[in-house]
Chains A and B, each alone.
Chain A
Amino acid sequence: DQQVKQNSPSLSVQEGRISILNCDYTNSMFDYFLWYKKYPAEGPTFLISISSIKDKNEDGRFTVFLNKSAKHLSLHIVPSQPGDSAVYFCAARDTSGTYKYIFGTGTRLKVLA
């Protein structure tokens, strides 16, 4: 049973436009959320995080929004660049047990030049 869901396997966006990647979770014991970016043949690299006590965190072109009541977070990339083309994973920290991270299935973003 997938506790962290990324329902869009892929997304295509024109260069310069906004990319919005979504992530839903089911467990109210998740308290910290991260986004990772993965290029082919490489391991994921950390992009941005947000604590459950916040509803927004911004880092340059990347902003993560958290809606706790809806158990939903989103990553906004503005403006999108071709180098942003990658697979994006969201991850949630589960405080109900051993404080491990649960990852989603990923969304492949393609930014078209």
Chain B
Amino acid sequence: DAGVIQSPRHEVTEMGQEVTLRCKPISGHNSLFWYRQTMMRGLELLIYFNNNVPIDDSGMPEDRFSAKMPNASFSTLKIQPSEPRDSAVYFCASTVGTSLGEQFFGPGTRLTVL
């Protein structure tokens, strides 16, 4: 069975450029989460969707970040313009239901903004 798929696995870009991260959740899962991992703050929830609808985006750092889920099998996280402090590993996770129980994480996208 395919797990959560994220692309790209690595992204190196220059400050000011637009970055788009992509996620395909596990088929049948109806909740999708975007997290950011940094040394200082660990895993931070950025936003989560249930049935393609954003439920909580309180973790989105600022207006430069946006996320969409146009259908049940695809989500994007966009950063525009990117800044060096956005450098981190971004994870997508999915699960069935709203929140109870384990989430299944993708392998992550390592973003480096120069």
| Bound together | yes
Interface residues of A in 1-39 (CB under 8 A from B): 2, 6, 32, 34, 36
* Residue A45 lies at the interface, judged by CB distance under 8 Å to chain B: yes
Our pick among B44, B56, B100, B102 for the contact of A103 (Cβ within 8 Å) is B44
Complex Cα distance A71/B91, Å?
Answer: 28
Interface residues of B in 93-114 (CB under 8 A from A): 93, 98-108
* Residue B55 lies at the interface, judged by CB distance under 8 Å to chain A: yes
Residues of A at the B interface (CB closer than 8 Å) are 2, 6, 32, 34, 36, 41-46, 49, 89, 91, 93, 97-106
Complex Cα distance A45/B43, Å?
Answer: 13
- Stretch touching chain A among B11-19, B34-42, B75-83: B34-42
| B contact residues, range | 20 to 34
Find chain B residues with CB under 8 A from A89 CB.
Answer: 42-43
In the complex, number of A-B residue pairs with CB atoms less than 8 Å apart: 60
Residues of B at the A interface (CB closer than 8 Å) are 4, 35, 39-45, 48, 55-56, 91, 93, 98-108
Can you list 28 A-B pairs with a CB-CB distance of less than 8 A?
A: A2-B42, A42-B107, A42-B108, A43-B4, A43-B93, A43-B105, A43-B107, A44-B43, A46-B102, A46-B103, A49-B102, A89-B42, A93-B99, A98-B48, A98-B56, A98-B99, A99-B98, A100-B45, A100-B56, A101-B103, A103-B42, A103-B43, A103-B44, A103-B45, A104-B43, A105-B39, A105-B40, A105-B41
With A98-B56, A99-B98 known as contacts, the answer to whether A45 contacts B45 (CB < 8 A) is no
Return A30 CB to nearest CB of chain B, in Å: 12
Q: Are B41 and A2 in contact (CB under 8 A)?
A: yes
Taking A46-B104, A98-B55 as given, write out 7 further A-B residue pairs in contact, using a Cβ cutoff of 8 Å, ordered by the A residue number. A2-B42, A6-B42, A43-B4, A43-B91, A46-B102, A100-B56, A101-B103
Complex Cα distance A34/B35, Å?
Answer: 16
For A32, A41, A97, A100, the residue with the greatest tally of chain B CB atoms inside 10 Å of its CB is A100
